[in-house]
Amino acid sequence: LLLEDRYELLEVGTSVGRRYGPRLVARTQMRIEDLKGRHVALPGRRTTATLIARGLLPPFEEVHMDFTAIMDAVRDGEVDAGVIIHEGQLTYEQEGLVEIINMGKWWKERTGLPLPLGVNVVRKDLGPELCREVSRCMRESIEAGLSNRKEALAYALQFARGLDESTSDEFVGMYVNDRTRDMGPEGIAAIRRMLSEAAEIGLVPKVDVEVID
């Protein structure tokens, strides 16, 4: 959003949550209303997780930290709750934490759309032809990975941050799939809906979303 005058969104390479996404977790079960004025760990100021948390929760104290530190901070009582992303969505119960709300599920039930989590962008000043070529090359790369999933997963395991092969396979499948190849009209609608709602309550500036196929 801060650079929308210089970059265009690409349809390719998108990550969306279809009834899954960032999760708000705590040491014990509580209501969302109970977090008013409490300390909640967030994985970065400019993330979908933080944007949704700001719109969903009552006023709270934001504690920003590396996403890999959030579960420890919640478990050790440094914060009252935390919004976890990435593989933490699959492993938080192993850390003795409980889910307060699954933001991806909440968003889907509320809007009927997937929750946008990550996108790729390209510089506008490269020009339309080169921008489309970048998009084409990225799509071919993703197609190669999807067509050779076993080999791609074996390579990716070196970056798995301690996950076993089965959990890594589940995690990769959540975010590298048909919507990574092409977000489609549903993905574009989801991005526009999220940013429009955020702009209405003053969380982000109003922007016109343009996408390169």
The residues that are catalytic are: 86
Residue 59 CB neighbours (<10 A) = 10
Partners of residue 102 on adjacent β-strands = 23
Nearest residue to 175 (alpha-carbon basis) of 57, 87, 58: 87
Q: Is the dihedral of CA 168, 174, 175, 180 positive or negative?
A: positive
Partners of residue 99 on adjacent β-strands = 25
- Torsion angle of C-alpha atoms 67, 196, 19, 4, degrees rounded to 10: -50
Q: d(Cα 71, Cα 83) in Å, to the nearest integer?
A: 9
Q: d(Cα 138, Cα 154) in Å, to the nearest integer?
A: 20
DSSP classification of residue 166: H
